[in-house]
């Protein structure tokens, strides 16, 4: 039975790795239209508890350090404030905060994480990114270390588990 489960899991994992575009069925109360208006990349985020809006990198990192739980995360507005790089996903792991750019491509109307060099994963929304990485680990890359540390980076994987809300930030940063 265990070997069957491992085989099935392996097959599923390989399917997920091959898949580049991630779609989720509409959640209860969401529209069932097949097209999403992407004219404003950050629209619809105010309803998400993990979206904290215009918060500085310093405040976001400080709050995550105070929470001190691996898998704690939040999404904030990027200081660059461009359509191409509208948001940042901040994740606490191994006593550090990793800031990952959330990019939006007008050409394909999809979101990607980071530079896009290490993955081809594309998502219809930021919510889809968070849902996906609440199940499947996100690979955390240390931007301060050289590429020779790539092997160490492969071990740095974290599932998004503890959303930090705007209210949490207010309480933590008093």
What is the residue-wise DSSP string for 84-113? SS-EEEEEEETTEEEEEEEEEETTTTEEEE
Residue 74 and residue 92: Cα distance in Å, rounded? 9
Note whether residue 9 is domain-resident: no
Query: What is the full per-residue pLDDT of the chain (174 aa) written as tens digits?
Result: 444 444 444 444 444 444 444 444 444 444 443 333 334 455 678 889 999 999 999 999 999 999 999 999 999 999 887 787 899 999 999 999 999 999 998 888 899 998 765 667 899 999 999 999 999 999 888 766 555 555 544 568 999 999 999 999 999 998
Q: Is the pTM of this model over 0.75?
A: no
Identify the DSSP state of 139: E
Q: How many domains does the chain have?
A: 1
Owning domain of residue 85: 42-172
Note whether residue 141 is domain-resident: yes
Residue 87 and residue 76: Cα distance in Å, rounded? 6
Note whether residue 99 is domain-resident: yes
Residue 154 and residue 134: Cα distance in Å, rounded? 18
What is the CATH classification number for the domain harbouring 128? 3.30.505.10
If one counts every other C-beta atom within 10 angstroms of the C-beta of residue 148, the result is 7
């Amino acid at each position: 039975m265990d070997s069957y489960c491992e085989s099935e899991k392996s097959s599923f994992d390989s399917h997920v790795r091959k898949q580049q575009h991630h779609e989720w069925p509409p959640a209860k109360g969401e529209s069932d239209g097949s097209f999403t208006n992407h004219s404003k990349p950050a629209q619809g985020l105010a309803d998400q508890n993990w979206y904290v809006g215009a918060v500085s990198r310093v405040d976001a990192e400080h709050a995550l350090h105070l929470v001190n739980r691996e898998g704690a995360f939040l999404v904030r507005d990027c200081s660059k404030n461009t359509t191409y790089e509208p948001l940042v996903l901040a994740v606490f792991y191994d006593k550090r905060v990793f800031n990952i750019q959330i990019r939006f491509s007008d050409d394909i109307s999809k979101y990607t994480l980071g530079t896009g060099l290490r993955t081809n994963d594309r998502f219809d929304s930021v919510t889809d990114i968070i849902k996906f990485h609440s199940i499947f680990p996100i690979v955390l890359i240390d931007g301060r270390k050289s590429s020779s540390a790539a092997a160490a980076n492969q071990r740095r994987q974290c599932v998004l588990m503890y959303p930090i809300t705007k209210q949490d930030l207010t309480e933590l940063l008093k």
